[in-house]
Amino acid sequence: MGLGTLLKKVFGAGDGTQGNQAQSLGEPIEYKGYQIFLQPRALGGQFGVGGLIRKTTADGETREHVFIRADQAPSRDLCNEITLQKARNAIDTLGDSLFPDN
């Protein structure tokens, strides 16, 4: 089992519960055909950067990439800003290669 698969299982991504997952993820932020879901995590008074990038392909397949960064911020709002910046950078830099073929 690869790291991506493990993270998907830990965070519930790609386990067939997209309806329930979409509710728990909050509202997506649309960017260049991708959806970004902010997922800050509490870390002892700080917030850790992390999220999910999702794209639906032309054939209807939903592809997802969970990312967790070492960056921390003192507030949830600042963490969300950093997360959004990192997600947009990943999309700009890597595009669809965020989603390796299974």
State residue 101's pLDDT score.
76
The residues near 79 (Cβ < 8 Å, ≥ 6 apart) are 40, 47, 48, 49, 72, 73
Could you say which architecture CATH assigns to the domain 3-10+20-98?
A: 2-Layer Sandwich (3.30)
Q: What is the pTM of this model?
A: 0.74
**Average pLDDT score, the chain:** 83
Percent of the chain with pLDDT strictly greater than 70: 76
Please give the structure tokens belonging to residue 15. Answer: 């386990």
3-14 mean pLDDT = 49
**Domain-by-domain residue ranges, the chain?**
3-10+20-98
Per-residue confidence band for 33, with pLDDT thresholds at 50, 70 and 90: very high
Per-residue confidence band for 1, with pLDDT thresholds at 50, 70 and 90: very low
Q: Is residue 29 over pLDDT 80? A: yes
Distance (Å, whole) CA 72 – CA 39: 12
Distance (Å, whole) CA 56 – CA 51: 17
Distance (Å, whole) CA 3 – CA 1: 7
